């Protein structure tokens, strides 16, 4: 490695680390402006009930597919309720857990045999991405998926140990009980391990043992899912929407303000004098230049290489879950991609790095400014007619 290349990579690592620290700050400021709608109020009530009864509920909150999530999804919030009955301080607990997950992602990325640069830069993007910041600041079960994914990722790296394989199965099904999408990510990892010839009878049995252990708290939930009277929102019309893939194009890029602002999106743009549009143009420019470099270097470089960590983990935690969730006919919302975030953002970072380090930094800065602009806007006005709603402080 030449001196210039070494310094360029070191500088990129410094940028990524700096933005990780800024991302942690964004998760902790203005928590009084957190979302406080029906879902958050219901989670608070369920956590209170579970704490007072001292038992794991049979069922959690309803999911987007019409089935209830498992009762385990309430347990982390009952624990937070035990420490403080203030919703803001409970949300602080969620934010702190997500901050720990970010640091764990960084520590794991640094242990990879190759592709450290892409993963570290991806974690920098993940840290300041608008939706990922919002998903760290609310009382919602799926917001805790990152800490489970950090554990699963670490266990996979340590898979030569039998206990780590048991841990993959255990944490995978607990992630699925936290939010149903978690099961699809466990399946994605399993199929990717099979494709990469990382599985034998011993490892399959170890993962299966972890799955059985993790499902023990969910027996009543399984019974309810199988025989309970629930309406399903799945259907062929959801398959042809390809929603997961559309979210992959907008959410990691940090431009999906429509998700939270709804009808207020033009008010948001006009409030800043169309500056957010310039941020979006900057992000689009980085993406286009990266794609041009990919085409110039030849499609042959896009061949799947499962010994490459970037290829393997994008296959395991992005591509296969995308196909499985799409074929399930489920309506795929942005929060279904929370578990995929570290790996999807690594792929975006790799694309921007193709264009050059300065373009990656430009994209990073644009994402940060978009996130800050959004947080300040909802701090001032909220979004009563959008998904964000009226912030807690203004209620």
Does the pLDDT at position 24 exceed 90? Answer: yes
CB within 8 A of 353, min separation 6: which ones? 12, 117, 118, 121, 290, 360
Does the pLDDT at position 5 exceed 50? Answer: no
Cβ(391)–Cβ(379) below 8 Å: yes
Structure tokens at 312: 């393997």
pLDDT at 4: 41
pLDDT at 13: 81
Structure tokens at 250: 């907008």
pLDDT at 306: 94
Q: What percent of the chain has pLDDT over 90?
A: 80
Does the pLDDT at position 308 exceed 60? Answer: yes
Cβ(392)–Cβ(34) below 8 Å: yes
CB within 8 A of 292, min separation 6: which ones? 355
pLDDT at 187: 98
Domains in the chain: boundaries: 3-394
pLDDT at 299: 62
pLDDT at 300: 59
Mean local confidence (pLDDT), 161-187: 97
- Compare 384 and 233 and report the one with higher pLDDT: 384
**Per-residue pLDDT tens over the stretch 216-254:** 989 989 988 888 777 777 888 889 989 999 999 999 998
Does the pLDDT at position 268 exceed 50? Answer: yes
pLDDT at 227: 82
């Amino acid at each position: 490695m030449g001196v210039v290349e070494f310094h360029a990579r070191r500088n990129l690592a410094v940028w990524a680390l700096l933005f990780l620290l800024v991302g942690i700050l964004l998760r902790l400021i203005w928590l009084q402006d957190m979302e406080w709608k029906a879902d958050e109020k219901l989670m608070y009530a369920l956590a209170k009930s579970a704490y007072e009864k001292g038992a794991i509920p049979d069922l959690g909150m309803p999911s987007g597919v019409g089935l209830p999530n498992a009762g385990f999804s309430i347990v982390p919030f009952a624990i937070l309720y035990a420490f403080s009955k203030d919703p803001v301080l409970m949300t602080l607990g969620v934010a702190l857990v997500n901050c720990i997950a970010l640091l764990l992602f960084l520590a794991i990325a640094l242990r990879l045999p190759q592709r450290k640069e892409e993963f570290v830069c991806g974690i920098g993007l993940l840290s300041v991405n608008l939706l990922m910041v919002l998903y760290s600041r609310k009382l919602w079960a799926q917001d805790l998926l990152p800490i489970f994914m950090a554990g699963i990722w670490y266990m996979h790296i340590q898979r030569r140990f039998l206990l780590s394989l048991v841990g993959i199965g255990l944490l995978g099904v607990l992630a699925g009980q936290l939010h149903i999408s978690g099961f699809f990510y466990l399946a994605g990892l399993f199929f990717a391990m099979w494709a990469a010839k990382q599985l034998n009878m011993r490892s399959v049995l170890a993962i299966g043992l972890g799955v059985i252990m993790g499902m023990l708290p969910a027996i009543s939930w399984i019974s309810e899912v199988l025989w309970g009277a629930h309406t399903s929102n799945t259907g062929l019309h959801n398959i042809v929407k390809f929603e997961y893939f559309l979210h992959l194009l907008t959410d990691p890029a940090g431009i999906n303000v429509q998700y939270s602002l709804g009808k207020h999106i033009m008010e948001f743009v006009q409030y800043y004098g169309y500056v957010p549009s310039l941020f979006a143009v900057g992000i689009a420019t980085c993406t286009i230049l990266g794609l041009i470099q990919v085409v110039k270097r030849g499609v042959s470089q896009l061949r799947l290489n499962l010994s490459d960590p970037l290829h393997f983990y994008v296959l395991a935690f992005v591509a296969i879950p995308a196909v499985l969730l799409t074929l399930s006919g489920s309506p795929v919302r942005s929060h279904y991609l929370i578990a995929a975030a570290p790996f999807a953002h690594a792929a975006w970072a790799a694309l921007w790095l193709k264009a050059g380090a300065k373009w990656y930094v430009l994209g990073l800065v644009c994402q940060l400014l978009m996130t800050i602009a959004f947080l300040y806007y909802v701090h001032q006005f909220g979004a009563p007619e959008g998904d964000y709603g009226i912030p807690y402080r203004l209620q």
